[in-house]
A and B are shown apart, each in its own frame.
Chain A
Amino acid sequence: MSKSNTIPTAGPDFEHLLAQEVVIEAGTAEGPSGAQRIEPDHSPRTPHGDAAPAPALLPGADLQREVEQFLYLQAELLDAKQWQAWMDLFDAQGVYWMPVERSQTEWEGSPSIFAEDKLLMEIRKGRVTHPNAWSQAPMWETNHLVSHVAIESASEQQIQVRSRFHMMELRRDTVRHFGGSYRHTLVRDAAGALRIRLQRVDLFNGQAPFDYVLQIWV
């Protein structure tokens, strides 16, 4: 907190009031923050099972099948609420981006629905798993289907894939539908495993009014 925060007694000079700056910094006050005072528990965000779904075995797999299984796993981890395992699919520079319009090309500097690097993903994960994420209290489940997987280009360094998805979401007593296309830029880590550099999500209904909002990646 800086400077004075008492209202001047001089009168209703609101221009003067406006010129008084108060800056608050989280965690700098003496007492506990308001945020720490109440801690009920909410459970619908609990992951399905203790462990994340295991990646599929790939007997004699070619690149097409390897990529398909990777995209299925991505969706499966979201549905199982295994947020950390899902985030681990991204490489260190990985980005999750849901633009508003198909014509957008840059994740930074664009009005977006989601535009998150790994640090922002960590904030979102921390938020939905916090005991006091109030909006996580109602029952909540998702179910993704991924299809139409087409590899557009593949080199040693990078693979471009497009696919389609359909997600149904149950929140409280309501089911919503989200559909659209994925566009993945995939790379390989040091051990040769696929990792996501960019997951671009174009909702077919991204410009429709949102009945409530999206809390988790699609």
Chain B
Amino acid sequence: MNLKPLVEPDRVHKSVYTDPKIFDLEMEKIWERTWVYCGHESQVKNPGDYHALTIGRQPMVMVRQKDGSVQVLYNRCPHRGVQLVGNLKGNTGSAFVCSYHAWSFHLDGKVRAIPLAAGYEGTRLTRDNPDCSMKRAARVDSYRGFVFASLADEGEGLLDFLGEARIAFDDMCDRSPVGEVEVVPICHRVVQHSNWKFFMENQLDSLHPSVTHQSTGISAGRVEKRLKAEQGSAPLYYHYLSTFASSFEQWDSVQTINFPHGHGILKAYMGLRPQDPDTLAHEAMLKQAYGEQKAEEYLSRSIHHVLVYPYLSVQSPLQQLRCLRPIGPDKTLSEIWHFRLKGAPEAIYRRSLWYYNLVNSPATMINADDLENWTKGQWGLQSNGGDWVSFHRHFGDDRVEAGVTYSNHGTSEAVMRNQFRAWSTYMSAA
């Protein structure tokens, strides 16, 4: 399948969002090769704790080992193919046991016992045959507690894959005085009826907020203004919502930074470093832990969120992330997680929780309108009303230096152009 004619520097063909064959190729050439986020180590605290997930089309299970390491295995019994864990999370004890014929496996996937094993004598199925054990992800690695796996034996390492997008995890963890985060053990799951690319493009699209989210921005701004008039101030979380109704010109000033691999950063715009007593206490704590200079460096990073292309949006200053698990060309599951900064004041957690509850929960006052756009977008692209998707905005204004792409305009579609450069690289690999 020749994909080259489908991606031009300033526009892409609609079929990259709609064609089931292209979706299958994406699963094969991107998801089932590159490093994919599995979860955080704190999701599986004790030996036997597991978490089920998908990498591309593959059902996997992340499991804590007896030696404390984390392994990622195919959730499949090598006997007749039955999935070994039937829930999203839990503890499997000291072994995985198949519900069909009771084959059992150690936590690292090696076969432990087979009932009436004498029945295999003289056959080519022996205990040392790899086909007798659960298959492992080819490579597993983690960065600051965030676990990734790759199903390809060869390829770049995790750090090379993440590149500068590492800052997503640094920015989150460095806000803890001990440099670590811990997962809040609740995962919101929301199904989007659109191709995964809609989400990834939207995350750094600064032109849409004041249009898409105007109803919430205006409504929140009205209440925020009244509170400020009545009592001099309003809690920060009103601002999380009211900012969405800023002008096009203001949004144009919020820059994006775009990296190789399609990763990118939307710079901060919400003013998440107020001078209230809670923030000051937190800052003092970080200064004590890391020294004045380091702490200042950590605190002055201007990040709203970081994209790890093609599946992760990390809102590092508010300790939350959304991870995409594509289901089909027009169906995408998003998993929404929140984290606590270990050792940081409760007030900092609670402040970030407002964003999680108001913006990222399944009763979100923001994403309700995004999801509506993407659903309608998918339907539009499935039609014969046109063949191309336009990314012409500020085309020619992109500046690429040392692999980093940026534009003088925050609303530039440099973001999408950069993502599709990465997409083409993945998809054209042999």
- A interface with B by C-beta (< 8 Å): 1, 5-7, 11-12, 14, 17-29, 31-38, 98, 100-101, 108-115, 119-120, 122-128, 130-138, 208-215
Known contacts A27-B246, A111-B338; can you find 12 more A-B pairs with CB under 8 A?
Answer: A17-B406, A18-B265, A18-B303, A24-B246, A24-B253, A34-B245, A35-B211, A110-B353, A111-B353, A115-B357, A124-B365, A135-B368
**Distance A136 CA – B216 CA, assembled complex (angstroms):** 12
Is there an interface contact between B216 and A127, defined as CB atoms closer than 8 Å?
Answer: yes
A112 touches B357 (CB 8 A): yes
Contacts of A213 on B, CB cut-off 8 Å?
190, 362-364, 367-368, 371
B346 within 8 Å of A (CB atoms): yes
> Roughly how many angstroms separate A108 CA and B268 CA in the complex, as a whole number?
26
Known A7-B408, A26-B217; judge A109-B254 contact (CB<8 A): no
Which 8 A-B residue pairings sit nearest by Cβ, starting from the closest? A126-B219, A34-B210, A35-B214, A12-B401, A130-B215, A135-B372, A133-B215, A29-B247
Closest residue of chain A to B375, judged by CB?
A212
Partner-binding segment picked from B33-41, B116-124, B220-228:
B220-228
Q: Are B245 and A27 in contact (CB under 8 A)?
A: yes
> Could you say which residues of chain A place their CB within 8 Å of the CB of B250?
1, 24-25, 28-29
* Distance between A108 CB and nearest chain B CB, rounded to angstroms: 7
Interfacial residues, chain B to chain A (CB-CB below 8 A): 164, 167, 184, 186, 188-191, 193, 209-212, 214-223, 225, 227, 238, 241-251, 253-255, 257, 265, 267-271, 273, 300-303, 333, 338, 346, 349-350, 353, 356-358, 361-365, 367-369, 371-373, 375, 399, 401-404, 406, 408
Q: Which of A109, A115, A128, A214 contacts B362 (CB 8 A)?
A: A214
**Is A210 in contact with B369, judged by CB distance below 8 angstroms?**
no
- Set B247, B303, B365, B404: member contacting A127, Cβ < 8 A: B365
- For B403, what are the chain A residues with a Cβ–Cβ distance below 8 Å? 12
Residue in A23, A100, A208 whose beta carbon sits within 8 Å of that of B186 in the complex? A100
Name, among B247, B248, B372, B401, the residue most crowded by chain A CB atoms within 10 Å (CB to CB): B247
With A34-B211, A109-B350, A135-B369 as known contacts, state yes or no: A26 contacts B363, CB within 8 Å: no
CA distance A131 to B273 in the complex (A): 33
Also in contact, A26 and B242, with CB within 8 A (given A18-B303, A33-B247): yes
Docked pose: A1 CA to B271 CA in angstroms: 10
Are the C-beta atoms of A123 and B190 separated by less than 8 Å?
no
A34 to B250, CA, bound (A): 9
B233 to chain A, nearest CB (A): 14
In the complex the two chains form, what is the Cα distance from A113 to B364 in whole Å?
8
Residues of B with C-beta under 8 A to A5: 253, 255
Instruction: Please state if A19 and B300 are interface contacts (CB–CB under 8 Å).
Output: yes
Q: Is the CB of A119 within 8 A of B223?
A: yes
* B246 near A33: Cβ-Cβ < 8 Å: yes
Chain B residues lying within 8 Å of A98, measured Cβ to Cβ, are: 363
In contact, A123 and B216 (Cβ under 8 angstroms): yes
Contact present for A29 and B249 (CB under 8 Å): yes
The answer to whether A17 and B257 touch across the interface, beta carbons within 8 angstroms, is: yes
Residue of B nearest to A32 (CB): B247
Q: Is the CB of B362 within 8 A of A31?
A: no
* A109–B350 CA distance with the chains assembled, in angstroms: 5
Find out whether the CB atom of B361 lies under 8 angstroms from the CB atom of A113. yes
Q: Are B269 and A134 in contact (CB under 8 A)?
A: no
A84→B316 CA distance, assembly (Å): 37
Residues on B with C-beta less than 8 A from A135 are 368-369, 371-372
- Determine whether the beta carbon of B223 is less than 8 Å from that of A126: yes
Partner of A25, one of B214, B243, B257: B243
**Is the CB–CB distance between B217 and A214 below 8 Å?**
no
Residues A123 and B401 in contact, CB atoms below 8 Å apart = no
A sample of 18 cross-chain residue pairs with beta-carbon separation below 8 angstroms, ordered by A number, consists of A22-B253, A24-B251, A26-B242, A33-B247, A34-B246, A38-B211, A111-B357, A114-B363, A120-B358, A122-B223, A126-B215, A134-B215, A134-B372, A210-B191, A212-B191, A213-B367, A213-B368, A215-B363
Residue of A19, A25, A101 with most chain B CB atoms under a 10 A cut-off: A25
A7-B406 contact given A23-B269, A27-B221, A115-B357, CB 8 Å threshold: yes
C-alpha spacing A114/B364, complex, angstroms: 8
Question: Is A123 a contact of B361 with CB atoms below 8 Å?
Answer: no
Are the C-beta atoms of A22 and B302 separated by less than 8 Å?
Answer: yes
A123 and B267 form a contact (CB under 8 A) = no
Taking CB atoms, residues of chain A closer than 8 Å to B190 are 209-210, 212-213
Q: Is the CB of A6 within 8 A of B408?
A: yes
Q: Which residues of B contact A123 (CB under 8 A)?
A: 216, 219-220, 223, 238, 241, 365
Q: Which residues of B contact A127 (CB under 8 A)?
A: 215-216, 219-220, 365
Contact A18:B302 (CB < 8 A) given known A5-B255, A35-B217, A132-B214 = yes
- Contact (Cβ within 8 A) B186 A209: no
Q: Please name all residues of chain B whose beta carbon is closer than 8 Å to the beta carbon of A33 when the two chains form the complex.
A: 210, 214, 245-248
Closest to A172 in B: B375
Which residues on the B side are within 8 Å of A120 (C-beta)? 358
Tell me, in angstroms, the Cα distance from A34 to B358 when the chains sit together. Answer: 22
Chain A residue at smallest Cβ distance from B408: A7
The CA of A212 and the CA of B184, in the complex, are separated in Å by 23
Give which listed residue, B216, B257, B361, B364, contacts A18 with CB less than 8 A.
B257
Contact between B223 and A29, CB atoms less than 8 A apart:
no
Q: Which residues of B contact A124 (CB under 8 A)?
A: 219, 365
CB distance from A59 to the nearest CB of B (A): 38
With A1-B250, A35-B217, A123-B216 already in contact, the answer to whether A20 and B243 are too (CB < 8 A) is: no
Chain A, residue nearest B354 (CB) = A115
Report chain B residues within 8 Å CB of A24.
243, 246, 250-251, 253-254, 269
Kindly identify which residue among B221, B222, B338, B363 contacts A113, using a CB–CB cutoff of 8 Å. B363
**Which residues of chain A have C-beta atoms less than 8 A from B372's C-beta?**
134-135, 137-138
Question: Which chain B residues lie closer than 8 Å to A138 at the CB level?
Answer: 372
A126 to B350, CA, bound (A): 25
Instruction: Contact check, B267 vs A22: say whether CB atoms are below 8 A apart.
Output: yes
Cβ-closest chain A residue relative to B361? A113
